[in-house]
Structure 1
Amino acid sequence: MLKKQASGGDITKPLTATEYLVCSAEASAVTAVITNPFWLIRVRMFATAADSPNAYRGLWHGLSSITKNEGVPGLFRGTMLALVGVGNGAIQFMAYEKMKVWGFERKRRKAEREGKSFDVHMAKLSNLTYSAMSISSKLIALSATYPYQVIRSRVQNNGPGQLQNEFPNIPTTIKRTWAKEGIKGFYRGLGTSLVRVLPGTCVTFVVYENLAWLLRTSAAARPQELEA
């Protein structure tokens, strides 16, 4: 629906990178709002001992407990921070695209020195290069946006009987985290997060780039086959 709106109703019209980025951000924002209650329960289940009287027995128990004790707004604790997280993908995408431009430019200059023709649409970088670019872009994005995840988790875990209102809102959470832990406090768990997301990031980008290259070359070869 978002792509259709961006293309003016013509679903066959190719979108620019910026239009794809905007559509992706909009879709991510909607998803973040809808799924926030589930992330909230997940965070509290992870942070609460199983034998605690405040522990949630499951999804439905968590939903009903939050609604009963905190009201419907309680289900959306940390939503604003979740929307900030949409920028993670935007930063990673822009960094990755810049690295690709640099990589193809190097390949073009090398081809010119060797007297070979170069077509950016048919060219392909190595899988190792794509992996390095995907990791680097993800590191840049996480470095810029990871603190919001720490703040969001602490705000979400601040339910009745959880942290005794230690982190009741975003400003207080930022101040207390800085006062007690300094800058390191905003990057707690970063190493674990990297171990979790980097392998998937590499696989996703390498598979995507190879499939995109295969489709481009197949489309370019089709007219030649028809002429033959």
Structure 2
Amino acid sequence: MAAQVFSYDSLVHAVSGAVGSVTAMTVFFPLDSARLRLQVDENRKARSTPAVLAEIIREEGLLAPYRGWFPVICSLCCSNFVYFYCFHYLKASWLRGRQAAPSTDLLIGIAAGVVNVLVTTPLWVVNTRLKLQGSKFRNPDIRPTNYSGILDAFVQIVHDEGLGALWNGTFPSLLLVLNPAIQFMIYEGLKRQLRRGGPRELSSVEVFLIGAVAKAVATTATYPLQTIQSILRFGQSGAPTERSKLLASLQTVKCLLLNRARKNGMLGLFKGLEAKLLQTVLTAALMFLLYEKIASCTFRAMGLSAQHLKRH
């Protein structure tokens, strides 16, 4: 019976998180397109988000910033559903009524992140390829691709590069489970601080602000690895074939980090950070706001609002 209650509770959080993230990403999707261009296309001279977006629209059309929206939304929906479900299920099972702590949130976030990465990396590899397909790159070494959709991209990648290519970037992705883990640790910690006076529902402004702060810290701390992750998912990193066919190795990540730093300086590791922060902080803040409101309304409709606040 307890397992059923915890599973249902986790399901509400998972659906709320997925819906919130999909809505937020749709609103700020052009900012993510600008961020990805800055990470992958090293020869692009435009450095600021508005300049990159202006270039994309001028050269590729008004709808170009929304290229690849559908596969990204599909991947994001699946990814956030898995992460929110695992995080809240593991938290409920681990704590069993005990008081949560930042270290507990961090460990649970890492565990949920590992499950999420192993399950959803192929979706993110495909959506990165589709999002960049048809783009006008400044780097002449980037080869054009021709995928007709999500399924065709899966088939072509497996046929041309092998099954392991669907998990390109898995190693940095596993390291990057620290990103949502740090984000949730800070978010849950700040939420507990705001509720020190007793269980209560946070205001929209409070949720938006703590969501933004949590994501800003997590993104800045892990950004160089996010850049390498994007390059590996794109599949044109120039890494040795025997290393990149299977899971990305530590040596490959190290080489890509060193090459990028050697070519562009240490600041090159943070190229696109402005676009990433602008997009990810606003998206995460809106996502947490929608997530909390959807979950709260669902629990309230079921008459579980008080119990929900006590547990979380």
From 178, 185, 205, give the equivalent of 2:268: 185
Give the unaligned 5+ runs of structure 1.
106-118, 221-228
Amino acid at match of 2:127: R
Q: Indicate yes or no: 2:121 matched with 1:36.
A: yes
- SS at 1:150 equivalent: helix
Q: Which sits farther off after the overlay, 135-144 or 191-200? A: 191-200
Summarize the Cα distance change of 1:170–1:198 in structure 2 as closer, same or farther, 3 Å threshold: same
Deviation at 1:134, TM superposition (A): 1.9
Aligned pairs for 1:29-68 (under 5 A) are 29-49=114-134, 54-68=145-159
Task: String of CA shifts for 1:134-184, please: whole Å, max 9, x gaps.
Answer: 2112110101112211101112223xxx45559963122111111111232
Q: Is the 8 A contact 1:92 1:141 kept in 2?
A: yes
Residues 105 and 185, structure 2, Cα contact 8 Å, conserved in 1: no
What is the one-letter code of the residue matched to 2:120?
T
Residue 99 (structure 1) shift: 3.5
Distance 1:90 1:4 in 2: 13
> Which is greater in Rg?
1
Question: How many corresponding residue pairs?
Answer: 200
Instruction: Please list, as runs of the form range in 1=range in 2, the aligned pairs for 1:1-228 lying within 5 A after superposition.
Output: 3=89, 7=93, 13-14=96-97, 16-17=99-100, 22-49=107-134, 54-100=145-191, 103=194, 119-122=197-200, 126-158=203-235, 162=236, 164-165=238-239, 169-206=252-289, 211=296, 215-216=305-306
Root-mean-square deviation (CA, aligned residues, Å) is 3.8
Give the conservation status (yes or no) of the 8 Å contact 2:109–2:185.
Answer: no
The amino acid of 1:151's aligned partner reads I
* Percentage of identical aligned residues: 25
